[in-house]
Amino acid sequence: DAMVIQNPRYQVTQFGKPVTLSCSQTLNHNVMYWYQQKSSQAPKLLFHYYDKDFNNEADTPDNFQSRRPNTSFCFLDIRSPGLGDAAMYLCGTYGSDTQYFGPGTRLTVL
């Protein structure tokens, strides 16, 4: 039973072409996160939400934006992807003192 779903699982985009990654959850958790994970590195927090209250980390590039239209859905927009944005993007939720993560979206930038 998938609880955190990310689409697509693999996304290929061209340098500078905007892309949107999506995440949905069936857990009804107020807290949601977006993480960026580059190869062999720790996941890096980009954004987190408590309900619709939104926080971005101080070092999250301006090129990244996030939207959460309702409790279940959250989107990550990359306005002008660069080669350095190629990574795995992980969506997570928090509830009952536990973090849950989706399978991730692997972004390739050509």
Partner 1 sequence: KQEVTQIPAALSVPEGENLVLNCSFTDSAIYNLQWFRQDPGKGLTSLLLIQSSQREQTSGRLNASLDKSSGRSTLYIAASQPGDSATYLCAVTGKLTFGTGTRLTIIP
User: What b/e string do you get for 63-82 counting C-beta neighbours within 10 Å, with b at 16 or more?
Assistant: ebbbebeebeebbbebeebe
Determine the interface stretch with partner 1 among 11-19, 34-42, 68-76, 78-86 (rule: CB under 8 A).
34-42
Phi-psi category of residue 48: left, alpha or beta, with phi > 0 → left and psi -120 to 50 → alpha:
beta
Residue with tokens 């996160």: 33
Applying CB under 8 A, among 67, 68, 79, 106 the residue interacting with partner 1 is 106
| Number of residues forming the site for partner 1 (CB under 8 A) | 21
Determine the interface stretch with partner 1 among 13-21, 61-69, 71-79, 97-105 (rule: CB under 8 A).
97-105
CB of 102 to partner 1, least distance (A): 6
Tell me the C-alpha distance between 52 and 32, whole Å. 10
Tell me the C-alpha distance between 86 and 10, whole Å. 11
Determine the interface stretch with partner 1 among 12-20, 35-43, 60-68, 77-85 (rule: CB under 8 A).
35-43
Under rule CB under 8 A, residue 40 binds partner 1:
yes
